[in-house]
Amino acid sequence: MQGHTERQIASLIDHTILKADATALEIEKYCAEAIQHGFCSVVVNPVHVRRVADALRGRNVRTASVIGFPLGGNVPALKVKETEVALEQGADEIDVVIDLGAMADGRYADVESELKAIRRASEGKIMKVIIEACLLTDEGKIAASSISAAIGADLVKTSTGVSTGGATAEDIALIRRTVGPEIGIKASGGIRTRETALQMLDAGATRIGLSVGPLLLQL
């Protein structure tokens, strides 16, 4: 990845602000930074989607909303409704937390059913499935990634960034072997340096989620 230019790296970054007490001023700052650096998207909690969509209108930066964040424990109907509202308010992409309890139980059919419903609700938009890899066995990571690919998700995302661990190159490589070359992979959680970001890209990631994008580009 030494051949990646700063502009190319920037275009793969989801500039992310998901803290509970994010202010309007901070959200607007993230939008301005994303425009300045040419980031792929700005990722926010649903309450901020309209503000971000307004700030990014006419710019080549997407608006992304998390869904079922951070635990994935909402019932499917609520995740679908949250998706619909986010899209109505201007989201171009959604980052959906998988039903982690169902994954732990091995109720893969329930996981698939929920994700299919969310995929239908988000047709035509980018859907990323957050599998929270740090809470899964390798078997679970493979199953979650396979289900995500099967229902038509655009990317598998490693982590929420608020659980017991974040992205690892090993998990990225495992997901890539599982889903093949056609689906994207988003590395998220614990990425704070250019070196770490490049390791994720080398392992097969196609998108990087982090809150310190401008700093990473300066390192």
The pLDDT of residue 216: 86
The pLDDT of residue 217: 85
The pLDDT of residue 219: 56
The pLDDT of residue 1: 42
Single out the catalytic residue among 79, 128, 141, 186.
186
Six token digits for residue 12 = 């793969």
Residues in the chain where the model's pLDDT stays below 70: 1-3, 219
Single out the catalytic residue among 92, 95, 99, 171.
95
pTM of the model: 0.97
What are the structural domains of the chain?
6-214 (3.20.20.70)
The pLDDT of residue 143: 99
116 is catalytic: no
19 is catalytic: no
